[in-house]
Amino acid sequence: MGIPRQLTEEEVRNNFIKHLIRLAAYWEKVEGKTCLEKIEGAIFSTLVTLDGEADDLPSFIVAPYSDPSDKNFYKDEGKNWYPQNNNKVVCDISGKLHDTFAKIKRG
């Protein structure tokens, strides 16, 4: 097996994608649910994964990556803009995504 080491970016990406493929396979086989319920289940499971509550993966940073010109453009349009995370993550939304999804879904 070799000496333990930090996973490479490619390995992390592949592990994440493989996990999502397993989630899709799981939700495809769920019986007694409508198509919409299965899609929502898959979305919820993905958010749980990003929040770090999946068995085999850590939490992931989820943050907007807006163009530097967006702030001025939206400001000139009289609209709100997303925070910039170009050099330092200042708006990591992960951690409570699945809880927020459930709350919004309930209304």
The pLDDT averaged over each successive group of 10 residues in the chain (107 residues) is 89 90 96 97 96 91 87 96 81 81 85
CB-based burial, 85-98: b 16+ in 10 Å, e otherwise: eeeeeeeeeebebb
For tokens 């970016």, the residue is 9
Distance CA 82, CA 73 (A): 11
pLDDT for 66 = 85
Give residue-wise pLDDT tens across range 2-21. Answer: 999 999 888 888 899 999 99
pLDDT for 105 = 82
Specify the 3-state DSSP secondary structure of 78: coil
pLDDT for 36 = 97
pLDDT for 44 = 96
What DSSP element (H or E) covers 35? helix 35-50
